[in-house]
Amino acid sequence: PEPRPRAQQDADIVNVAHRGASAYAPENTLAAFRLAEAKQADMFELDVQETKDHQLVIMHDTTLDRTTDAEEVYPDRKPWKVGDFTLAEIEKLDAGSWFAKKYEDERVPTLGRVLSAMRGKGLGLLLEIKSPELYPGVEERIAAALRRSPSWLRYDPGERRLVVQSFDWESVRRFHDVLPKVPTGLLGTPKVADLPELAKYADQINPTYGDLTKAYVDKVHDARMDVLTWTLNDSADMEKAVGLGVDGIITNEPDVLRKVLERS
Ligand code: G3P
Ligand code: CA
């Protein structure tokens, strides 16, 4: 078979801090992203959504109540959907106390804030477009934010600087149409027969660990894409994933993964 031309060929397995180093700091906050570096991740992952006034914010759930004090601050706004609030309203929320009191000053960051705060730190960014069906046009707005912070777009395959992924493969395709040089990932486990077609716009297939087999990893590699799997926090699982030949592992505990990778 022809050699795979992708970034990960023969490279180390990439260590991705899921929602930041989210075992140790509140997920999807600057504290968690900064901690990813201290915990020896190669990249940090985050989830992008949009406010009512079309600002890009970092939040996993499509509602604000689990990871902020929105219920307390806005008691009449149930079910606290991200897209029902303006950025100014969201910025009033405490995004850290739910995790630990010492994080009470953490706010829901904007994508722009993260791009500038984390620029030049040596950590790559795995950017998930979360629930894009709720935010028509979000791909173009993400592309615009990246263009305003162009150091993230200076792509060198060896650096793993930026990858854009989604469970919504059409959203990934739309993003690829806007910024075709940015590597992309498809979350999920597409059928083997569909891989060659998907490889026209995707660089990674990123399945949940439960779905993963060595045969599937080999098929993705045959289609010249990489495999990053999620979310592994147990070192025995991490070792098994390494044995399956994955190119990257997404974890809440990048320090645990670092030790596994040093042994393997
Ligand atoms: O990057 C993989 C992972 O983030 C996908 O699942 O639900 O944590 O966004 P979720
Ligand atoms: Ca995610």
Amino acid 158: pLDDT: 63
Q: How far apart are CA 46 and CA 44, in angstroms?
A: 7
Q: How far apart are CA 227 and CA 255, in angstroms?
A: 21
Answer whether 55's CB lies under 8 Å from 141's CB. no
**Residue indicated by tokens 């759930």:** 61
Residue 146 domain-assigned (yes or no): yes
The per-residue pLDDT for range 116-132, each reduced to its tens digit, is 999 999 899 999 999 99
Confidence label for 228 from pLDDT (cuts 50, 70 and 90): very high
DSSP string, 41-53: -SEEEEEEEE-TT
Q: Please list the active-site residues.
A: 18, 60
Name the helix (H) or strand (E) containing 239.
Answer: helix 235-243
Q: How many CA atoms lie within 13 A of 168 on its CB side?
A: 17
Residue 253 domain-assigned (yes or no): yes
DSSP string, 119-176: TTSS-EEEEEE--GGGSTTHHHHHHHHHHTSGGGG---GGG--EEEEES-HHHHHHHH
Domain extent for 175: 14-63+109-263
Mutate to test the pocket of ligand 1, among 14, 18, 233 (most ligand atoms within 8 A of CB): 18
Among protein residues, the one whose CA lies closest to atom 2 of ligand 1: 230
From the CA of 188, which ligand is nearest?
1
Is the pTM higher than 0.90? Answer: yes
pLDDT beyond 80 at 103? yes
- 3-state secondary structure at position 181: coil
Amino acid 230: pLDDT: 98
- 135: nearest Cα among 50, 262, 240, 23: 50
**Residue indicated by tokens 């990489």:** 226
Q: How far apart are CA 167 and CA 16, in angstroms?
A: 17
Residue 93 domain-assigned (yes or no): no
Residue 247 domain-assigned (yes or no): yes
pLDDT beyond 50 at 3? no
**Residue indicated by tokens 């891989």:** 195
Residue 19 domain-assigned (yes or no): yes
Q: How far apart are CA 112 and CA 122, in angstroms?
A: 17
Q: What residues flank ligand 1, with Cβ below 6 Å?
A: 18, 45, 47, 60, 128, 187, 230-231, 250
Residue 76 domain-assigned (yes or no): no
Amino acid 4: pLDDT: 47
pLDDT, averaged across the chain:
95
From the CA of 187, which ligand is nearest?
1
Count up the domains in the chain and report the number.
1
Residue 214 domain-assigned (yes or no): yes
- Ligand 2 centroid–CA 61 distance in Å is 10
Q: Which atom of ligand 1 is closest in space to residue 16's alpha carbon?
A: 1
From the CA of 230, which ligand is nearest?
1
Q: How far apart are CA 79 and CA 65, in angstroms?
A: 8
Answer whether 66's CB lies under 8 Å from 107's CB. no
Q: Which atom of ligand 1 is closest in space to residue 126's alpha carbon?
A: 1
- Ligand 2 centroid–CA 227 distance in Å is 15
pLDDT beyond 70 at 233? yes
The per-residue pLDDT for range 128-181, each reduced to its tens digit, is 999 999 999 999 999 999 999 999 998 666 667 999 999 999 999 999 999 999
- What protein residues have CB closer than 5 angstroms to ion ligand 2? 47, 128
The per-residue pLDDT for range 177-213, each reduced to its tens digit, is 999 999 999 999 999 999 999 999 999 999 999 989 9
Q: How many CB atoms lie within 10 A of CB 197?
A: 11
Amino acid 160: pLDDT: 79
Rg of the chain, C-alpha, whole Å: 18
Name the helix (H) or strand (E) containing 72.
Answer: helix 70-73
- Ligand 2 centroid–CA 90 distance in Å is 20
- Ligand 1 centroid–CA 106 distance in Å is 21
Residue 88 domain-assigned (yes or no): no
Tokens describing residue 249: 């592992």
- The ipTM of this complex is 0.98
Tokens describing residue 57: 């914010």
Confidence label for 34 from pLDDT (cuts 50, 70 and 90): very high
CATH of the domain at 166: 3.20.20.190
Q: How far apart are CA 74 and CA 80, in angstroms?
A: 8
Burial of 78: CB neighbours in 10 Å, binned 0-12, 13-18, 19+: exposed
The average pLDDT across 22-39 equals 98
- Ligand 1 centroid–CA 238 distance in Å is 17
Amino acid 155: pLDDT: 67
Confidence label for 96 from pLDDT (cuts 50, 70 and 90): very high
